[in-house]
Amino acid sequence: MIEGIIIKGISSFYYVKTPDNHIYECKARGIFRKEKIIPAVGDRVIIDTKPDDTGTICKILERDNYLIRPPVANINLAIIVFSFTMPEPNVNLLDRFLVTIEKNDIEACITLNKADLVDPQIREKMVAIYEGAGYDVICTSTKTEEGIAKLKEKLKDRITIFAGPSGVGKSSLLNAIQPGLSLQTGELSLKAERGKHTTRHVELMELDIGGSVLDTPGFSSLDMVDIEEEELTYMFPEFEGFTQNCRFKGCRHLNEPQCEIKSRVASQEIAASRYDSYLLLLKEIQEQRRY
């Protein structure tokens, strides 16, 4: 019995790396399926090994956290990658992802890639929204290498997930950070301006500077994590500090009179797009509750 970390999962096989850098191809014990526990990349596990480098996952050690999509465990930093263009950023999807990360108490850093393709005004506007919301924002380009050193610094000694839509440049950024990785990247189809899911599985890779990174396939939608209506406010960091001035305790910032959030949106201290995302998510949560 030895301990290791799941670094990759392909169909029902899990690749487990042990401290001596050995990789075992493992199957999970049947009991997991019965209990509906699915091993995830990043899981610390106890395996039973055979001389032919195969093994069985006998136990999943307690998780620090777990993201459903993509399914990963035990990360401590999320780099949320969107591109300024090709594909155009879907801010609602970005806000959804941020809410998921907040809910899981994981540190988030927003990386806006393809800075080489955007004009300065659009760029500043986007950066202002998210810096204004209290997030760390890094603008990058794998073509000009802008921001790559800064991003790399951020990853040192952490377990980081790279997540974002297909085609935004997640794998390209990781290749720029550590050229030896040689991850496959996709040509963007000019007509659709969308990515084609070049990365097909989640993989955990070690970095020379210390720490490890997870490259993941792009996602184009994100189901809401289990969040209560009254909890949603706290998933928008920039609302904090204002909500206590709403007239009603437990204000949903919807139609209530004297809502501080709404007046801060009107005075542009809170970005309208962020408030719109809040409303969309609130509606979704309320609808889910009805069933």
Ligand X SMILES: Nc1nc2c(ncn2[C@@H]2O[C@H](COP(=O)(O)OP(=O)(O)OP(=O)(O)O)[C@@H](O)[C@H]2O)c(=O)[nH]1
217 near ligand X, judged by CB under 6 A? yes
d(CA 263, CA 260): 5
CA distances from 112 to 22, 89, 95 (A): 36, 9, 14
If the CB atoms of residues 10 and 37 are measured against ligand X, the closer one turns out to be 10
If the CB atoms of residues 100 and 198 are measured against Mg ion, the closer one turns out to be 198
The H-assigned helical ranges of 116-202 are: 120-132, 148-155, 170-177
Window 185-204: contact mask with Mg ion (x via CB under 5 A): -------------xx-----
d(CA 287, CA 128): 32
Among residue numbers 248 through 277, which ones bind Zn ion (CB under 5 A)?
Answer: 251, 253, 259, 261
Size of the site for Zn ion (CB under 5 A): 5
If the CB atoms of residues 14 and 278 are measured against Zn ion, the closer one turns out to be 278
If the CB atoms of residues 27 and 143 are measured against ligand X, the closer one turns out to be 143
Strands 66-67 and 44-49: unpaired
Residue 259 touches which of ligand X, Mg ion, Zn ion, none (Cβ within 5-8 Å per kind) = Zn ion
If the CB atoms of residues 124 and 231 are measured against ligand X, the closer one turns out to be 124
With helix as H, strand as E and coil as C, how does 15-66 read? EEECCCCCEEEEEECHHHHHCCCCCCECCEEEEEECCCCEEEEEEECCCCCE
Among residue numbers 214 through 253, which ones bind Zn ion (CB under 5 A)?
Answer: 246, 251, 253
**Residue closest to 197 by CA, chosen among 175, 176, 219:** 219
Size of the site for ligand X (CB under 6 A): 24
Read off the tokens for 51.
């001389």
If the CB atoms of residues 39 and 195 are measured against ligand X, the closer one turns out to be 195
Rounded to the nearest 5°, which phi and psi values hold at 137? -120, 130
Residue 77 touches which of Mg ion, ligand X, Zn ion, none (Cβ within 5-8 Å per kind) = none
150 near ligand X, judged by CB under 6 A? no
d(CA 35, CA 175): 38
**Binding residue (CB under 6 A) for ligand X from 169, 235, 260, 281:** 169
187 near ligand X, judged by CB under 6 A? yes
**Binding residue (CB under 6 A) for ligand X from 71, 132, 186, 211:** 186
Rounded least distance, CB 171 to ligand X, Å: 3
**Binding residue (CB under 6 A) for ligand X from 103, 195, 251, 261:** 195
* Amino acid sitting at position 29: R
Rounded to the nearest 5°, which phi and psi values hold at 143? -85, -45
d(CA 29, CA 273): 46
Contact footprint for Mg ion (CB under 5 A) = 170-171, 198-199
Contact footprint for ligand X (CB under 6 A) = 113-114, 116-117, 141-143, 166-172, 185-188, 195, 197-199, 217-218
Contact footprint for Zn ion (CB under 5 A) = 246, 251, 253, 259, 261
